[in-house]
Chain A
Amino acid sequence: MSEPVLQLSDVAVEYGRGGERVRAVDGVDLAVARGEVVGLVGESGCGKSTLARAAVGLEPLAAGRVTFEGHNVTHLGRRRRPAYLRGLQMVFQDPYESLNPRRKVGELIADGVLLGGGTRRDGLRRAAELLERVGLPETAVGSYPHEFSGGQRQRIAIARTLATRPSCLIADEPISALDASAQAHIANLLGELVGDADLGLVLVSHDLSVVRRVADRVAVMYLGRIVEIGDTNTVWASPRHPYTEALVAAIPRADGAGVLPVDLPGDVPDPANPPDGCRFHPRCPIAEESCREHDQRLAPVAGREIACHIRSRSAAPAR
């Protein structure tokens, strides 16, 4: 396996002031290689968006390190972002907010080239190329973002990041704000780009089904931790962590069979006050007494890694 383009080591992110600091992300390790799509899934409050932002430098780290191509990814403070981080870009969730409404599409995309020292002419030429690459007409260079639909705008946003010739993209819920057909388009596009440009892609989404189709590996997060990580098909077909099982069982199948999805009782605990021991144990169907003391970290089981000491020690596969 080649050197990872993006490496997160024991990353922790906090927010809040003074004595009331809350750990939104706690002790996360993640490596992304070029040409690989890593899906990051989880429900509200799991910290996946915070983790994505920290990976790109938009959030300060409370602990741990993020390295991109060997360089330390520093927090984007007042200063200009260092040139060696140009290859690490982000695609945002809201295509209506991430494009400047008063600038033409061509200029927006050309930014990436200009900021890398290119000329305006180079920039616009590249903008036209990239627009075609993402499936939009070249003539779009002269238009404004509001003339496009959500799905098209997201393509423009993607083209904008491609202008810097990135080696790693972090996509934070890139399709949640879109229509069903637009979602499929964008998901496909991202998959293609990874292959063509040999990009590393971290795809953050609450929509497990889409991640399942696009990601090579998937990491499941719960309350600031990764609870299961492994090859997508393996994790999907036979999830081992009880939370992953619950997630998969909760997805309604569009097969007409009329089967109600399984629900997971209880609520996500307040991240300011996580449960003792295993964070999932209050809602876990297989929880035992020992779960309250044992805060299991990721350990390899059956071809992937999970953070569950019960399943780790049991040789029998999950139902």
Chain B
Amino acid sequence: MTPDTATSDTVTGALLRVDRLSVALPTRSGYHKAVDDVSFAVDAGEVLGIAGESGSGKTITALSLFGLLPHGARVTGSIRLDGTELTELTTKQLRAIRGRQIAMVSQDPATALHPIVPIGTQLTEHMRHHLGVSKAEARSRAADLLQTVRIPDPERALRSYAGQFSGGMRQRIAIAVALAAEPRVLVADEPTTALDVTVQAGILRLLDRLCRDRGLAVIVITHDLGVMSATARRLCVMYAGRLAEAGPTSELLARPRHPYTRGLLDALPHPEATGAPLVPIGGSPPSLGRVPDGCPFHPRCRYAQPSCATNRPEPEPIAPGHLLACPPDPLRAAVSEREAP
């Protein structure tokens, strides 16, 4: 049921399929691509991760799935949700889809929930709008949802306000709100960045359970590779709006082939490693409109060759389901020598 691939060409049954998506944003110096020719797909019951630092275009990618782009954004490419082409829908049609087919959970649980509307209303309002159920029915479903996300004493919680809950609880409630209209795709943008590590662990487990039990397609967007490793079966690494590497998480994190992926891993304090200082990637990610020619990563890449400054790399399959946008492929030898940790 779950196609084991990251290329959109061979995924025919995917629930959400993004094909050569590009989003250009207006800036003072003209239009610049925040997302440049990105493709991925996610199916029901699986978790796809989109990894990248700030400026990688990951948030714009997420927003484009909802049609919530900044004023004046230009979109090319295709976003197909269960066969429906989202880029061609009217605003009214999009509104019908948001929440009902595809929902989002974002980073800050403090602002995601309305501070002075009771939790119950925030849940039922959603439900009644999209599902047309009665008030009583909605309330009962809302209590069930809170139960699912493990909020203690759901009945009382329904009457409470967002401010009465801790950060982790609020995020759970935000997830419940996102699920209220029974969407098929859940997009989580940095869902645990603002949370403590033990609380994060709880949310990650929750997302995993929801994905399996409800057959949700989940897209987790974060810069935290640890979170990716724990939750996402497949992973896309983005840099400067483009796809650097995509494939099974286990492969990418254990045997990274793109120098940027490798760099991200080296910069992370790997819990098992000892003593050696962290190796940060020199320089910083390019800002919008200042993306270098050729490979966007080449100025910071320790394996850069002359061709990297001129030739724009396209993601090429290097193994079933594994795409790499790095023609020189300098890490291939390193990977085959090293054993998997």
**Shortest Cβ distance from B174 into chain A, in angstroms?**
16
**Shortest Cβ distance from A154 into chain B, in angstroms?**
13
Q: Is the interface of B mostly helix, strand, loop or mixed?
A: helix
Please state if A253 and B271 are interface contacts (CB–CB under 8 Å).
Answer: yes
Please state if A254 and B166 are interface contacts (CB–CB under 8 Å).
Answer: no
Whether A2 is near chain B, meaning CB under 8 Å from some CB there, is no
Whether A299 is near chain B, meaning CB under 8 Å from some CB there, is no
Please state if A252 and B226 are interface contacts (CB–CB under 8 Å).
Answer: yes
Compute how far the CA of A265 lies from the CA of B271 in the bound complex, rounded to whole angstroms.
Answer: 23
In the bound complex, residues from chain B placing their C-beta under 8 Å from that of A250 are 197-198, 200-201
Interface membership of chain A positions 32-43, coded 1 if the CB is closer than 8 angstroms to chain B and 0 otherwise? 000000000001
Known: A43-B199, A233-B274. A181 touches B167 (CB 8 A): no
The B-contacting residues of A in range 201-257, CB under 8 angstroms, are 206-210, 212-213, 233, 236, 246-257
Compute how far the CA of A137 lies from the CA of B187 in the bound complex, rounded to whole angstroms.
Answer: 41
Whether A136 is near chain B, meaning CB under 8 Å from some CB there, is no
Whether B153 is near chain A, meaning CB under 8 Å from some CB there, is no
Q: Which of A79-87, A94-102, A185-193 has 4 or more CB atoms under 8 Å from chain B?
A: A185-193
Give 12 pairs: A residue, B residue, CB < 8 Å, sorted on A.
A151-B284, A182-B280, A184-B267, A184-B280, A247-B197, A254-B225, A255-B341, A258-B230, A258-B249, A260-B204, A260-B230, A261-B200
In the bound complex, residues from chain B placing their C-beta under 8 Å from that of A147 are none
Whether A288 is near chain B, meaning CB under 8 Å from some CB there, is no
Please state if B229 and A255 are interface contacts (CB–CB under 8 Å).
Answer: yes
Whether B28 is near chain A, meaning CB under 8 Å from some CB there, is no
Compute how far the CA of A260 lies from the CA of B205 in the bound complex, rounded to whole angstroms.
Answer: 7
In the bound complex, residues from chain A placing their C-beta under 8 Å from that of B341 are 255
Please state if B250 and A179 are interface contacts (CB–CB under 8 Å).
Answer: no
Please state if A262 and B201 are interface contacts (CB–CB under 8 Å).
Answer: yes
Interface membership of chain B positions 176-214, coded 1 if the CB is closer than 8 angstroms to chain A and 0 otherwise? 000000000000000000001111111011001000000
Please state if B280 and A252 are interface contacts (CB–CB under 8 Å).
Answer: no
Please state if A259 and B198 are interface contacts (CB–CB under 8 Å).
Answer: no
Please state if A252 and B284 are interface contacts (CB–CB under 8 Å).
Answer: no
Query: Total interface residues on A, using CB and 8 Å?
Result: 45
Please state if B223 and A180 are interface contacts (CB–CB under 8 Å).
Answer: yes
In the bound complex, residues from chain A placing their C-beta under 8 Å from that of B253 are 254-256
Compute how far the CA of A112 lies from the CA of B224 in the bound complex, rounded to whole angstroms.
Answer: 37
Please state if B197 and A210 are interface contacts (CB–CB under 8 Å).
Answer: no
Compute how far the CA of A12 lies from the CA of B229 in the bound complex, rounded to whole angstroms.
Answer: 40
Binding site for B on A (CB under 8 A): 43-44, 149, 151, 179-185, 187-188, 191, 206-210, 212-213, 233, 236, 246-265, 267-268
Whether B53 is near chain A, meaning CB under 8 Å from some CB there, is yes
**Shortest Cβ distance from A199 into chain B, in angstroms?**
17
Please state if B166 and A43 are interface contacts (CB–CB under 8 Å).
Answer: no
Compute how far the CA of A92 lies from the CA of B341 in the bound complex, rounded to whole angstroms.
Answer: 36
Compute how far the CA of A98 lies from the CA of B210 in the bound complex, rounded to whole angstroms.
Answer: 42
In the bound complex, residues from chain B placing their C-beta under 8 Å from that of A191 are 277
Please state if A264 and B198 are interface contacts (CB–CB under 8 Å).
Answer: yes
In the bound complex, residues from chain A placing their C-beta under 8 Å from that of B249 are 256, 258
Task: Name the CB-closest residue of B to A42.
Answer: B196
Please state if B197 and A208 are interface contacts (CB–CB under 8 Å).
Answer: yes
In the bound complex, residues from chain B placing their C-beta under 8 Å from that of A248 are 271
Please state if A267 and B166 are interface contacts (CB–CB under 8 Å).
Answer: yes
Task: Name the CB-closest residue of A to B206.
Answer: A263
Please state if B229 and A256 are interface contacts (CB–CB under 8 Å).
Answer: yes
Known: A206-B196, A250-B201. A179 touches B54 (CB 8 A): yes
In the bound complex, residues from chain B placing their C-beta under 8 Å from that of A212 are 269, 271
Compute how far the CA of A84 lies from the CA of B272 in the bound complex, rounded to whole angstroms.
Answer: 42
Compute how far the CA of A262 lies from the CA of B198 in the bound complex, rounded to whole angstroms.
Answer: 8
Please state if B202 and A263 are interface contacts (CB–CB under 8 Å).
Answer: yes
Please state if A263 and B201 are interface contacts (CB–CB under 8 Å).
Answer: yes
Please state if B252 and A43 are interface contacts (CB–CB under 8 Å).
Answer: no
In the bound complex, residues from chain B placing their C-beta under 8 Å from that of A261 are 197, 200-201, 204-205, 230
Known: A184-B278, A258-B233, A260-B208. A251 touches B250 (CB 8 A): no
Please state if A43 and B196 are interface contacts (CB–CB under 8 Å).
Answer: yes
In the bound complex, residues from chain B placing their C-beta under 8 Å from that of A206 are 196-197
Please state if A251 and B197 are interface contacts (CB–CB under 8 Å).
Answer: yes
Task: Name the CB-closest residue of B to A188.
Answer: B277
Compute how far the CA of A259 lies from the CA of B196 in the bound complex, rounded to whole angstroms.
Answer: 18
**Shortest Cβ distance from A40 into chain B, in angstroms?**
15
Interface membership of chain B positions 246-282, coded 1 if the CB is closer than 8 angstroms to chain A and 0 otherwise? 0001111110000000011101111111100111110
